């Protein structure tokens, strides 16, 4: 899942999504469907827990001489286990809102975790109010 942070604006019969790289817009009449999905990915900061393992391979004499081979193996195994635990237990989470147009194009933007359904509902309400006029 790709996290593509965007803010949306509903005005003049359009949905405008502003990204850091630019803006996409679609008329309410051209919206075919709206949906959202919860997304997550592993926390990249967990990889910092592997530093003792990497240092042991890069400078074994320094590490082994300082803490000993058996202690280093315990530290290495502990680092790997801690990294796996953090990657699985503390993922980065967000919601993606997907706007599908009548032409089949998907416009996707990311919002904070738990806000996807609220954003989708707000867009649906504004679309209904605008198209019904």
pLDDT tens digit string along 62-88? Answer: 666 666 667 777 777 888 888 888 888
Instruction: Work out the pLDDT band at 117, boundaries 50, 70, 90.
Output: very high
Q: What is the DSSP letter of 6?
A: -
DSSP 79-100: HHHHHHHHHHHS-EEEEEEEEE
Question: What does the DSSP 8-state code read for residue 2?
Answer: -
Model confidence at 95, in pLDDT bands (50, 70, 90)?
very high
Mean pLDDT of 8-20: 90
**CA separation for the pair 72, 100 (Å, rounded):** 53
- Confidence (pLDDT) at 63: 62
What is the domain class of 7-40+94-128 according to CATH?
A: mainly beta
pLDDT computed for residue 116 by the predictor: 94
């Amino acid at each position: 899942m790709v996290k593509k942070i965007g803010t949306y604006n509903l005005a003049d019969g359009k949905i405008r999504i502003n990204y850091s790289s630019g803006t996409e817009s679609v008329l309410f009449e051209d919206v075919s469907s709206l949906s959202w999905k919860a997304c997550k990915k592993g926390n990249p900061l967990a990889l910092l827990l592997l530093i003792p393992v990497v240092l042991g391979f890069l400078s074994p004499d320094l590490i082994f001489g300082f803490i000993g081979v058996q202690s280093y193996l315990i530290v290495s195994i502990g680092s790997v286990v801690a990294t796996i635990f953090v990657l699985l237990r503390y993922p980065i989470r967000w919601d993606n809102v997907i706007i599908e147009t009548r032409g089949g194009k998907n416009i996707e933007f990311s919002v904070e975790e738990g806000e996807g359904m609220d954003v989708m509902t707000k867009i649906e309400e504004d679309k209904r109010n605008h198209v019904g006029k």
